[in-house]
Structure 1
Amino acid sequence: MQWQQLHLQCAKQDIELAESLLLEEGALSISLEDAGDQPLFEPLPGQSPLWDEIILTGLFNANKAQNIETVAQTIAVQVNANRVWTTALADTDWEREWMSHYMPIECANNLWIVPKWMTPPNPKAVNIMMDPGLAFGTGYHATTRLCLDWLTDQDLTGAIVIDYGCGSGILGIAALLLGAKQVYSVDIDPQAVLATKQNAERNAVANRLQAYLPEDFAKAHGAGDIPQADFITANILAKPLMDLAPYLATLLKPAGNIVLAGLISEQLEAVKEAYSPWFSLDGHHSYDKEDDAHWHRLSGTLTVLPT
């Protein structure tokens, strides 16, 4: 089957109307993409931030081809579209098309991230088998890679690790495969908790990983069911990282280590300041690829025990 795509470029305040009009005309699906190069950082659950200028694409089946141009022009006028155009889209195996975008990637020190349907290129390496579609943290994002690189430089033998903001669970799973004894993973998104458990099963480390929502984790830690950690990984966003600083300090052993990511250069000093009463964050590293060079991580040790 030949499909028809109608593309509209318009401002974000007109998107809701444009979506409604496309659905009224029989669009089978609608997708949004950035019309420029405006970064959007990982949203909190319930938030759906949009770019200022958006390309909206409606997918129609072949029988709409005869009047798709008329539909395009009519909707473009109603939503003040800056551009409007149509394209044909050949049918394909969409599941395989989606899977084709993911390939095994090598991180530092012989650590690989491998999509669950593929064979590891190097069976003797440390291979993390992941489902890229479940939650944030596939290993392809610079912030995840920064934390994975940091983990491979640590001596994790027998360590207790807390992964706060675990997403897919990739950092905790990596820690276990690199020698950690036990990982406690935490995320505010129930889907992330589920994804972490499933990925832990996939990597045969589920018996050493426990995943929690924050309130359940806090109760377990407060009851003494979760010991103080040797390491904390927190790949979130600057604002929640700053809010969490005093709490994360209570979760570490004296001289325990922490890595923070999800940061851009303009946020580094504010995050350092938030952690300064308890931590010495003397480690700083940025991603070395030009397209992702705005991402940074901070790392350091707990130097002052919280009172």
Structure 2
Amino acid sequence: MPWTELRITTDSKHAEALSDALFDLGALSVSIEDAAAGTAEEKPIFGEPGEPVDQMWDHSIVVAHLDDAMDPALTVAAAANAIGIAAPSYQTVTVEEQDWVRLTQAQFDPIPISKRLWITPTWHEAPDADAINIALDPGLAFGTGSHPTTRLCLQWLDANIRAGETVLDYGCGSGILAIAARKVGAGRTDGVDIDPQAMVASRQNAEQNSVEIAFYLPDALPDGEYDVVVANILTNPLKALAPMLAGRVRAGGRIALSGILSEQADDVIAIYGQWFNFAPKAEEDGWVCLSGSKHA
């Protein structure tokens, strides 16, 4: 049975109320997306401890799936009327019924990161049995190796981690960077994320890859410095977290930062430059990874 995907453009004041109204009207599922996703205006809606939290994006897209008995125009009008606003603009997309499990799996083939490092979904055979293969499936948290920011960080870790070094993966998502660090020779490795679901995903993925990593919510991370800190998040959080992240790197240690658009790199370097000497940036598809050594 095909479904209708309804995409409604709205603002931060009405996105959640509109979502609730669509659910009440019988929508099969409802989610909210950042209308600026993938652009320089993209922003997180979370905050770190002590930082203000943006509850919703300024410009949002409410995405609802309707069965064939629901008329999109009437549904939008009814939802708008329920929350006391004029009917907003919307688009519809027909979503054909498919075997979603097989379709999802077909979209995730093994990903080569370097000559010796691969990300391999569990339903695939390892393409190179002699390589370092990280077994990872799409799941609850961000990070499968398919996005340029993740690949850039993985390549940096593969090329730069020295045996036994301590590593902090801040904003660990699926735990992929922490797992890779351990696989290529790191010693004690910790991961941090603000999302409890990321903790679940990271611990499961670490166990699946037979590596020992401790994962924490931010306030629970023990005091201490690391040889290497890697943070693959977004530019605005990286700016806000600069003093804390810099403070987690020992003198002479190294940092790798990603989730940064190429046009934002100079701003990040300007902030972190008070603590680090930066190497030339690595870039892929408009995203960059910045790495540097902390002043002794």
TM-score tier by shorter-chain length is 0.7 to 0.9
**Matched letter for residue 80 of structure 1:** A
Residues 22 and 64 of structure 2 are in contact (CA less than 8 Å); yes or no, is this contact kept in structure 1? no
**TM-aligned CA deviation for residue 296 of structure 1:** 1.4
The one-character-per-residue Cα deviations of 1:82-104 (angstroms, maximum 9, x if unpaired) are 455574633x3333333333221
The 3-state SS of whatever aligns with 2:280 is: strand
Paired with 1:86 and 1:150, the residues of 2 have a C-alpha distance of: 40
34-43 or 275-284, larger mean C-alpha shift: 34-43
C-alpha change, 1:21 and 1:190, in structure 2 (3 Å) is: closer
**Matched letter for residue 253 of structure 1:** R
Paired with 2:109 and 2:217, the residues of 1 have a C-alpha distance of: 30
The one-character-per-residue Cα deviations of 1:49-95 (angstroms, maximum 9, x if unpaired) are 447363734321x5x2xx737735855996534455574633x3333
Paired with 2:148 and 2:167, the residues of 1 have a C-alpha distance of: 21
- Selected match of 1:271 from 268, 271, 285: 268
Paired with 1:29 and 1:22, the residues of 2 have a C-alpha distance of: 9
Paired residue for 1:302? 294
- Selected match of 2:171 from 154, 160, 165: 165
Paired with 1:51 and 1:123, the residues of 2 have a C-alpha distance of: 48
10-19 or 239-248, larger mean C-alpha shift: 10-19
**TM-aligned CA deviation for residue 111 of structure 1:** 1.2
Residues 73 and 84 of structure 1 are in contact (CA less than 8 Å); yes or no, is this contact kept in structure 2? no
Matched, 1:27 2:27: yes
Identical-residue share of aligned pairs (%) = 38
The 3-state SS of whatever aligns with 1:256 is: strand
The 3-state SS of whatever aligns with 2:279 is: strand
- Selected match of 2:104 from 94, 98, 107: 98
Gaps of at least 5 residues in structure 1 are 223-227
Paired residue for 2:142? 136
Paired with 1:253 and 1:118, the residues of 2 have a C-alpha distance of: 39
Residues 8 and 85 of structure 1 are in contact (CA less than 8 Å); yes or no, is this contact kept in structure 2? yes
The 3-state SS of whatever aligns with 1:131 is: coil
Residues 189 and 213 of structure 1 are in contact (CA less than 8 Å); yes or no, is this contact kept in structure 2? yes
Residues 76 and 87 of structure 2 are in contact (CA less than 8 Å); yes or no, is this contact kept in structure 1? no
**TM-aligned CA deviation for residue 6 of structure 1:** 5.3
Paired residue for 1:258? 255
Q: TM-score, normalised by structure 1?
A: 0.78
Tell which structure's C-alpha radius of gyration is larger: 1
**TM-aligned CA deviation for residue 37 of structure 1:** 7.1
Paired residue for 1:214? 218
C-alpha change, 1:85 and 1:72, in structure 2 (3 Å) is: farther
Greater helix content: 1
Residues 285 and 296 of structure 1 are in contact (CA less than 8 Å); yes or no, is this contact kept in structure 2? yes
Paired with 1:164 and 1:196, the residues of 2 have a C-alpha distance of: 12
Count of residue correspondences: 284
C-alpha change, 1:296 and 1:42, in structure 2 (3 Å) is: farther
Counterparts of residues 92-131 of structure 1 (less than 5 Å)? 92-131=98-137
Paired residue for 1:285? 282
Paired residue for 2:6? 7
Paired residue for 2:234? 237
Q: Kindly report the root-mean-square deviation, in angstroms, between the aligned alpha carbons of the 2 structures.
A: 3.1
Paired with 2:21 and 2:250, the residues of 1 have a C-alpha distance of: 57
